[in-house]
């Protein structure tokens, strides 16, 4: 909401400082996002007296002027305006000043004559469109006086961030009410120049139908339009707005159109009630009816667009067809034009949700729809209409034809709320004195109907505060006007809750620690991306097609981040992410969410070091396998890693697949190393504590076996076979070495295993171990055809 400082000053009858106003409003809950000085660039413009005017020797339409700008040095100015007259005063832009249009004045020659500055027209000063000549000033001010001081046009536009619960602050009156409280003063509507005061009789209250000035007025859709006021003004002269009205409309950032349209806009920004003026001669009937749109009905709105209407929309119609979309925009056909002489003025209440639905359906927002959506004052129509009639009569003349009408089929009143001072204390933590509570409620325009004899106060809330519907709403008002900073700030004793912390948080912490210790950096990527398989969940209203689906895996996002690092010529990349993936759930239900961890590593295994001549081998699959297994152990208790289809797959104890590791495909530059990645489901139930096992007290005995292994036999299978045949004394079987190369039969490789034996209760004797090794070798030879490698 744009607010004019001068307009507020007119309400409060006192000069205001914009920064001070912003501070006061912020303390009351309305943040001022910006303070924009109007008429920037006029600071250097001064009042100047033209002493003499002579013809220009080389140009018929130019004149030479001697100008007194108060500097003591007469200025020679070449002027093209026909109205420049010796002895009169004009705004003067000296050399070096910059005008609102961006023009910086220099001393220069025009047709051979020196010109030292410019006498300005209203348009050149950004003060209107008139360009008939330079702006004549009627002032006693001495030459050299600041033009802004004389013209009295200095103003600031305050951009107020109005929260959706406060429609009253969408009008200057509402803002003035807050400031009046802040200053401890009063406020009232600004006087209308040229008016002797409001003269409109009270509108005649009716049900759903009436007539005024020969126009039939009716409500046929009382849901969409619960109240409708109308007046007919005849003999109006549509024309340019007077200076004060144009300044107000432009101060809040609207374009001045004509005195009638400007008057309705002025009322809207003053009282937060959108209005509309129709040309009576264009109304069929003549009639103005609030009804639902008919099937197939269309309307060309004020913006020139032809729009189809839906049966759910409330429209304003004449006897034949729609002439406006209720609360959103009027129609082009019945618009007020310079030829209009007779007006029908509409001041209605349109139901907020209906307006919201309609403007969405039409994709058409306006200042009016913005206000109706948030709720205008249902009970203030007569005052608004009176104000509009006063301004129009003062600026465009005309007289009322008959008494205005007020259709209000189902009369209602603003709600009455009961407030308990004890509840105020309960919520706010300290007692607010009763007289202060009453003062605050009166300041917002409420009526305190009864005193708190029975422990509660009856409060009639004002119609312009549709947000006040329950006791807690009044408590907020008490707190707000009391001042949040005036409440104590204490850390009082508290009880803790019963709910334990979510287990997953601790597990995430351990996963992060583990991966950071492995030299990986945590990243957070966008969980939106392209479709990835049938399980992907689609976003109905994505920002872009590339971000049209929720991620079903973490790895693709990480790989894109690796590619981003490659683009910055970074070869060694180690990243991980903890996050949610989404998989389609049951029809109509939220998707299934899985909490996962994923990691990628590529490039050097270690930072280069001089001891290895600055070389470090790249990470390979064995680095990945270890990283995968250690992460799986943290992410999912009891997880096992198996080889399936040439990749590693992690299984939960129940057999469910919970993870994957392998080489990831990426869009890699030629110098990049392969990208190795893994992804794992994180089991988020609390972990059971590990159990202590007694540490061994007896020494172990180890034996190394170098085996000649034919193709097709996996190391893991061989290890299992050794473990099974070695008897109960075997403690561990580890792969020690792999050899492929010269000296082996074709298709064979050498595998060395280290067997570790131990007995819990005694020191092992060599004979026992030798017997076991012999048995192992027998089994390997007889069942697997594997021999010891000749050494």
Partner 1 sequence: MAESHPQSLLDALRPRLAAVAGLDADALEAEQIAVLGRKSGALTALLRSLAALPPEERRAVGAAANELRQAFEAAFEARAAALAPAAGAAGAAGLDLTMPGRRRWVGAEHPVTRVVEEICEIFHGLGFNRAIGPEAETEWMNFGALNFPADHPAMDMHDTFYLDVGGDARPGDGKAVLLRTHTSPVQIRTMLAGPPPYRVVIPGVVYRKDPFDPSHAPVFWQVEGLAVDEGISFVDLKGTLLHFARQFFSPTTKVRFRPSFFPFTEPSAEMDVSCYLCGGDGCSACKGTGWMEILGCGMVHPKVLENCGVDAERYTGFAFGMGPQRIAMLRYGIPDIRLLFEGDMRFLAQLGRAR
Nearest to 45 by CA among 79, 78, 94: 94
Does 574 engage in binding with partner 1 (CB under 8 A)?
A: yes
Which of 129, 526, 545, 743 binds partner 1 (CB under 8 A)? It is: 526
Does 689 engage in binding with partner 1 (CB under 8 A)?
A: no
Does 518 engage in binding with partner 1 (CB under 8 A)?
A: yes
Cβ closer to partner 1: 143 or 375?
375
Does 17 engage in binding with partner 1 (CB under 8 A)?
A: no
Q: What string marks each residue from 267 to 296 as x (binds partner 1 by CB under 8 A) or -?
A: ------------------------------
Does 589 engage in binding with partner 1 (CB under 8 A)?
A: yes
Does 82 engage in binding with partner 1 (CB under 8 A)?
A: no
Nearest to 258 by CA among 271, 249, 269: 249
Contacts of 41 (CB under 8 A, 6+ apart): 98, 99, 100, 126
CB 628 within 8 A of CB 636: no
- Bridge-based pairing of strands 592-602 and 573-583 is antiparallel
Query: Is there a cis peptide before residue 174, judged by omega within 30 degrees of 0?
Result: no
The stretch among 525-533, 620-628, 736-744, 759-767 that binds partner 1 (CB under 8 A) is: 525-533
The stretch among 75-83, 115-123, 158-166, 209-217 that binds partner 1 (CB under 8 A) is: 158-166
Measured CA to CA in angstroms, residue 613 lies from 570, 609, 671, 681, 729 at distances of 21, 7, 20, 40, 45
At residue 175, what are phi and psi to the nearest 5 degrees?
A: -65, -40
Identify residues 590-609 at the interface with partner 1 (CB under 8 A): 590-591, 593, 606-607, 609
- Bridge-based pairing of strands 209-212 and 215-219 is antiparallel
Which of 561, 596, 651, 748 binds partner 1 (CB under 8 A)? It is: 561
Does 491 engage in binding with partner 1 (CB under 8 A)?
A: yes
The dihedral sign for the CA sequence 126, 127, 131, 132 = negative
CB of 633 to partner 1, least distance (A): 18
Angle at 120 between CA 118 and CA 121, to 5 degrees: 150
The stretch among 108-116, 293-301, 480-488, 749-757 that binds partner 1 (CB under 8 A) is: 480-488
The stretch among 8-16, 232-240, 485-493, 742-750 that binds partner 1 (CB under 8 A) is: 485-493
Separation of alpha carbons 764 and 767, rounded Å: 8
Does 516 engage in binding with partner 1 (CB under 8 A)?
A: yes
Which of 40, 193, 564, 653 binds partner 1 (CB under 8 A)? It is: 564
Does 484 engage in binding with partner 1 (CB under 8 A)?
A: yes
The beta-strand segments (E) located in 57-155 are: 59-68, 75-79, 89-93, 108-110, 113-115, 118-119
Cβ closer to partner 1: 359 or 748?
359
The stretch among 53-61, 224-232, 512-520, 771-779 that binds partner 1 (CB under 8 A) is: 512-520
Q: What is the DSSP letter of 241?
A: P
Measured CA to CA in angstroms, residue 520 lies from 472, 574, 683, 739 at distances of 51, 5, 21, 32
CB of 438 to partner 1, least distance (A): 18
DSSP letter string, 303-320: TS-EEE--TTSEEEE-SS
Nearest to 8 by CA among 269, 224, 268, 221: 269
Does 716 engage in binding with partner 1 (CB under 8 A)?
A: no
Cβ closer to partner 1: 472 or 708?
472
Contacts of 338 (CB under 8 A, 6+ apart): 238, 239, 258
- Counting Cα atoms < 13 Å in the Cβ hemisphere of 552 gives 16
Does 668 engage in binding with partner 1 (CB under 8 A)?
A: no
The stretch among 315-323, 379-387, 483-491, 775-783 that binds partner 1 (CB under 8 A) is: 483-491
Identify residues 337-396 at the interface with partner 1 (CB under 8 A): 352-353, 356-357, 373-374
Which of 61, 306, 363, 499 binds partner 1 (CB under 8 A)? It is: 499
Separation of alpha carbons 349 and 34, rounded Å: 31
CB of 269 to partner 1, least distance (A): 19
Which of 86, 449, 502, 717 binds partner 1 (CB under 8 A)? It is: 502
Which of 140, 306, 435, 505 binds partner 1 (CB under 8 A)? It is: 505
The stretch among 208-216, 332-340, 410-418, 510-518 that binds partner 1 (CB under 8 A) is: 510-518
SS3 category, 509: helix
Does 711 engage in binding with partner 1 (CB under 8 A)?
A: no
Separation of alpha carbons 732 and 723, rounded Å: 8
Which of 78, 210, 507, 520 binds partner 1 (CB under 8 A)? It is: 520
Does 527 engage in binding with partner 1 (CB under 8 A)?
A: yes
Identify residues 163-182 at the interface with partner 1 (CB under 8 A): 163-166
Identify residues 606-625 at the interface with partner 1 (CB under 8 A): 606-607, 609-611
Does 33 engage in binding with partner 1 (CB under 8 A)?
A: no
The stretch among 128-136, 275-283, 447-455, 531-539 that binds partner 1 (CB under 8 A) is: 531-539
At residue 300, what are phi and psi to the nearest 5 degrees?
A: -90, 115
The stretch among 93-101, 111-119, 574-582, 644-652 that binds partner 1 (CB under 8 A) is: 574-582
- Counting Cα atoms < 13 Å in the Cβ hemisphere of 620 gives 3
Does 479 engage in binding with partner 1 (CB under 8 A)?
A: yes
Which of 82, 585, 653, 696 binds partner 1 (CB under 8 A)? It is: 585
At residue 573, what are phi and psi to the nearest 5 degrees?
A: -125, 130
Cβ closer to partner 1: 90 or 350?
350
Does 138 engage in binding with partner 1 (CB under 8 A)?
A: no
Identify residues 735-754 at the interface with partner 1 (CB under 8 A): none
Contacts of 198 (CB under 8 A, 6+ apart): 386, 387, 389, 390
The stretch among 213-221, 446-454, 576-584, 720-728 that binds partner 1 (CB under 8 A) is: 576-584
CB of 616 to partner 1, least distance (A): 10
Cβ closer to partner 1: 499 or 790?
499
Which of 430, 436, 442, 732 binds partner 1 (CB under 8 A)? It is: 430
Does 572 engage in binding with partner 1 (CB under 8 A)?
A: yes
The rounded Cα 85 to chain-centroid distance in angstroms is: 56
Separation of alpha carbons 99 and 42, rounded Å: 7
Which of 495, 691, 728, 740 binds partner 1 (CB under 8 A)? It is: 495
Separation of alpha carbons 401 and 236, rounded Å: 12
Does 304 engage in binding with partner 1 (CB under 8 A)?
A: no
User: Count residues contacting partner 1 (CB under 8 A)?
Assistant: 99
Which of 291, 439, 512, 756 binds partner 1 (CB under 8 A)? It is: 512
Does 580 engage in binding with partner 1 (CB under 8 A)?
A: yes
Residue burial 599-621, b: 16+ Cβ < 10 Å; e: rest: bbbbbbeeeeeeeeeeeeebbee
What is the three-state SS of 453-465? CCCCEEEECCCCC
CB of 271 to partner 1, least distance (A): 19
- Counting Cα atoms < 13 Å in the Cβ hemisphere of 617 gives 5
Does 485 engage in binding with partner 1 (CB under 8 A)?
A: yes
Cβ closer to partner 1: 444 or 730?
444
Cβ closer to partner 1: 261 or 600?
600
Q: What is the DSSP letter of 200?
A: P
């Amino acid at each position: 909401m744009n607010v004019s400082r001068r307009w507020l000053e007119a309400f409060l009858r006192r000069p205001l400082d914009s920064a001070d106003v912003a501070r006061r409003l912020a303390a009351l809950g309305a943040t001022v996002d910006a303070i924009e000085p109007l008429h920037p660039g006029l600071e250097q413009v001064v009042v100047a007296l033209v002493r003499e005017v002579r013809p220009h020797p080389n140009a018929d339409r130019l004149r030479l002027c001697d100008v007194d700008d108060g500097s003591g040095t007469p200025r020679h100015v070449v002027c093209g305006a026909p109205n420049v007259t010796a002895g009169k005063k004009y705004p003067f832009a000296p050399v070096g000043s910059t005008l609102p249009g961006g023009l910086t004045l220099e001393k220069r020659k025009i047709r051979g004559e020196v010109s030292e500055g410019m006498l300005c027209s209203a348009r050149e000063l950004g003060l209107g469109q008139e360009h008939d000549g330079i702006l004549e000033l009627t002032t006693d001010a001495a030459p050299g006086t600041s033009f802004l001081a004389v013209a009295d046009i200095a103003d600031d536009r305050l951009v107020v961030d109005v929260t959706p619960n406060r429609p009253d602050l969408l009008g200057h009156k509402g803002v003035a009410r807050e400031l009046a409280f802040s200053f401890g003063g009063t406020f009232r509507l600004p006087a209308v120049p040229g008016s002797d005061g409001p003269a409109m009789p009270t509108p005649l209250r009716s049900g759903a139908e009436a007539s005024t000035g020969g126009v039939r007025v009716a409500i046929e859709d009382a849901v969409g339009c619960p109240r409708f006021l109308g007046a007919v003004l005849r003999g109006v002269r549509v024309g340019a707005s007077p200076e004060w009205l144009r300044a107000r409309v432009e101060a809040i950032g609207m374009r001045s159109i004509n005195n009638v349209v400007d008057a309705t806009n002025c009322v809207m920004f003053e009282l937060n009630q959108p209005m509309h003026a129709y040309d009576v001669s264009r109304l069929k009937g003549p009639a103005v009816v609030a009804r639902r749109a008919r099937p197939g009905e269309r309307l060309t709105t004020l913006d020139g667009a032809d729009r189809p209407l839906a049966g759910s929309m409330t429209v304003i119609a004449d006897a034949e067809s729609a002439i406006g979309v209720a609360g959103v925009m009027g129609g082009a056909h019945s618009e007020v034009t310079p030829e209009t002489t007779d007006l029908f003025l509409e001041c209605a209440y349109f139901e907020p949700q209906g307006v919201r639905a309609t403007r969405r359906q039409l994709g058409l927002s306006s200042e009016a729809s913005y206000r109706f959506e948030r709720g205008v004052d249902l009970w203030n129509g007569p005052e608004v209409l009176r104000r509009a009639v006063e301004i129009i009569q003062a600026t465009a003349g005309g007289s009322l034809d008959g008494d205005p009408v007020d259709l209000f089929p189902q009369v209602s009143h603003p709600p009455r709320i009961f407030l308990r001072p004890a509840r105020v204390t309960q919520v706010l933590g300290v007692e607010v004195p009763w007289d202060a509570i009453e003062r605050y409620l009166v300041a917002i325009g409420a009526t305190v109907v009864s005193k708190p004899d029975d422990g509660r106060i009856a409060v009639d809330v004002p119609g312009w505060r549709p947000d006040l519907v329950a006791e807690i709403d009044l408590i907020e008002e008490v707190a707000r006007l009391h001042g949040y900073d005036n409440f104590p700030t204490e850390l009082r004793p508290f009880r803790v809750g019963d709910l334990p912390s979510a287990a997953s948080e601790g597990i995430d912490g351990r996963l992060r620690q583990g991966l950071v210790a492995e030299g990986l950096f945590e990243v957070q990527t966008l969980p939106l991306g392209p479709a990835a398989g049938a399980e992907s969940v689609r976003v109905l209203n994505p920002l872009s097609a590339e971000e049209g689906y929720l991620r079903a895996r973490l790895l693709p996002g990480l790989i894109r981040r690796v590619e981003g690092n490659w683009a910055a010529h970074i070869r060694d990349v180690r990243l991980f992410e903890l996050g949610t993936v989404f998989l389609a759930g049951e029809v109509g239900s939220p998707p299934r969410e899985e909490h996962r961890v994923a990691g990628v590593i590529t490039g050097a295994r270690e930072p280069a070091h001089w001891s290895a001549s600055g070389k470090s081998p790249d990470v390979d699959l064995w680095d990945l396998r270890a990283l995968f297994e250690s992460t799986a152990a943290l992410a999912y208790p009891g997880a096992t890693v198996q080889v399936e289809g040439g990749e590693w797959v992690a299984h939960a104890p129940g057999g469910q697949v919970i993870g994957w590791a392998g080489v990831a495909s990426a869009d890699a530059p030629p110098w990049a190393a392969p990208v190795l990645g893994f992804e794992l489901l994180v089991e988020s139930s609390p972990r059971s504590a590990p159990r202590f096992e007694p540490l061994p007290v007896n020494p172990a005995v180890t034996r190394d076996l170098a085996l000649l292994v034919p193709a097709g036999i996996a190391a893991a299978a061989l290890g299992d076979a050794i473990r099974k045949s070695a008897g109960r004394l075997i403690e561990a079987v580890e792969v020690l070495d792999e050899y492929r190369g010269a000296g082996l039969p074709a298709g064979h490789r050498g595998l060395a295993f280290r067997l570790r034996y131990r007995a819990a209760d005694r020191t092992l004797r060599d004979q026992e171990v030798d017997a076991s090794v012999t048995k192992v070798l027998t089994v390997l030879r007889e069942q697997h055809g594997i021999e010891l490698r000749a050494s």
